[in-house]
Amino acid sequence: MAHGPRKAPTMSTKQVVAQPPINPNLPAYLQGMTPVKRTDNFDASDIGLPRIKLLQGISPECESYDDAKSGNFWHSGMDMNLGPEVRFIICSRRKYYVLSAPLEDGQGVLARADDFKTWDRKGKWTVKIKGQKNPVTWEITSTNVEESGLAKWGTFIPGDDQSPPAATLFYSYLVILPDFPELGAVLLNLARSQIKQARKGLNDKIEMHLNAGRPMQALVFTVKSVKAQHESGGYNNVAFSSAGFADEAHYLAAKRIGETVLDYRVRDEARAADEDRTTKAESKDF
């Protein structure tokens, strides 16, 4: 029996019903305006975007805010609880490394590799680590990230093969939240065990759609808080799932932001690196 051509599997074609990505609190003349063309000389070092962070039991927000709960997502710019599940649309994404001293040391970000491959400087730093009697030394003699060795396990505390990498790898997604259009663009930064979840659950789905000619700005995803277990105890991790296609207004908004906001950094980058390094979600399996 003859059969017609098989249709390629696709994600559900159910449209996401959402309000247009505008802020109803804005005056009428500002509604629907596209990003303003840049005429100044400000760069990424002058732009600090808020981030969505998954709260852990040790997160300082859980002590500072009554509505901050472990296992919920938190908007760092608005100090707002977004709940245990958030829908988002990706405007753009990138991966990069940051070499940052622990918060208690006070030196902040020491070096960065925004292209994932090349440190922006060479240097040698003496770093104080909580629980360690003596300071440790981190050194970049080659600007090649791989050759520097600081992205490998056992470099946070030299001589301790079980210590995490001195450098923190981030998967950074610039996103908009269709359920919270008034919040604008925000960063979803992932590190450590969260990266494993993104590789199989988010990036693989994006790749499937890109290969079929569907841009990632047209896709809606959900990130959900899930309980995870490590030998040192339980912690909160992320899980991703598809949530259909964006409506045209959200697709165009995400596309414009992705084309306009080309260089960006997390507002509290040193804290983000420190939190992701000290959470119980430490595993070489990512």
Give pLDDT tens digits for 180-206: 998 999 999 999 889 999 999 999 999
Q: What is the pLDDT of residue 196?
A: 92
**Is pLDDT of 4 > 60?**
no
* Average pLDDT, integer, range 77-95: 96
Kindly report which listed range (105-109, 111-115, 235-239) carries the lowest average pLDDT score. Answer: 105-109
Q: What is the pLDDT of residue 35?
A: 59
Name the band, by pLDDT with cuts 50, 70 and 90, for residue 225. very high
Give the separation between CA 125 and CA 101, rounded to whole angstroms: 9
Name the band, by pLDDT with cuts 50, 70 and 90, for residue 7. very low
Q: What is the pLDDT of residue 126?
A: 96
Give the separation between CA 251 and CA 224, rounded to whole angstroms: 22
- Identify which has the larger pLDDT, 5 or 173: 173
Identify the residue whose tokens are 């927000």. 61
**Is pLDDT of 220 > 50?**
yes
* Average pLDDT, integer, range 111-120: 95
Give the separation between CA 91 and CA 178, rounded to whole angstroms: 12
Give pLDDT tens digits for 232-246: 778 999 999 999 999
- Identify which has the larger pLDDT, 167 or 18: 167
Name the band, by pLDDT with cuts 50, 70 and 90, for residue 16. very low
**Is pLDDT of 117 > 60?**
yes
In angstroms, the first-to-last Cα distance of the chain is 47
Q: Enter the pTM of the model.
A: 0.80
- Identify which has the larger pLDDT, 23 or 187: 187
Partners of residue 257 on adjacent β-strands: none
Distance of CA 67 to the CA centre of its chain: 22
Give the separation between CA 246 and CA 240, rounded to whole angstroms: 16
Kindly report which listed range (6-20, 54-68, 180-194, 207-221) carries the lowest average pLDDT score. Answer: 6-20
**Is pLDDT of 176 > 70?**
yes
Give pLDDT tens digits for 264-285: 777 667 677 776 655 544 455 5
**Is pLDDT of 12 > 60?**
no
By C-alpha distance, which of 111, 131, 108 is closest to 121?
A: 111
